[in-house]
Amino acid sequence: MNWRKLDGSRILLPINEAVELSIQKELEAGYKLRICIGTDSQVRGKNITFATVIVFLREGKGGYMFINSETIISEMKIRERMITEVSKSVTTAYDLSETLTKYDIPLEIHADINTDTTFKSSVALKEAMGYIMGMGYEFKAKPHAFASSSCADKVV
* Model pLDDT for residues 71-99, shown as the tens digit of each residue: 999 999 999 999 999 999 999 999 999 99
Q: Which pLDDT score is estimated for 115? A: 86
Determine what percent of the chain is predicted with pLDDT higher than 90: 87
Say which CATH architecture domain 3-155 belongs to: 2-Layer Sandwich (3.30)
Q: Which pLDDT score is estimated for 122? A: 86
The pTM of the whole model exceeds 0.85: yes
Angle subtended at Cα 147 by Cα 126 and Cα 51, rounded to the nearest 5 degrees: 90
36-40, 91-95, 126-130, range with the lowest pLDDT: 126-130
In order, the DSSP letters of 49-109 are EEEEEEEEEETTS-EEEEEEEEEEE----HHHHHHHHHHHHHHHHHHHHHHHHHTT--EEE
Please state, in angstroms and rounded to a whole number, the distance separating the CA atoms of residues 131 and 44. Answer: 27
Q: Work out the pLDDT band at 121, boundaries 50, 70, 90.
A: confident
Q: What is the mean pLDDT of residues 3-16?
A: 96
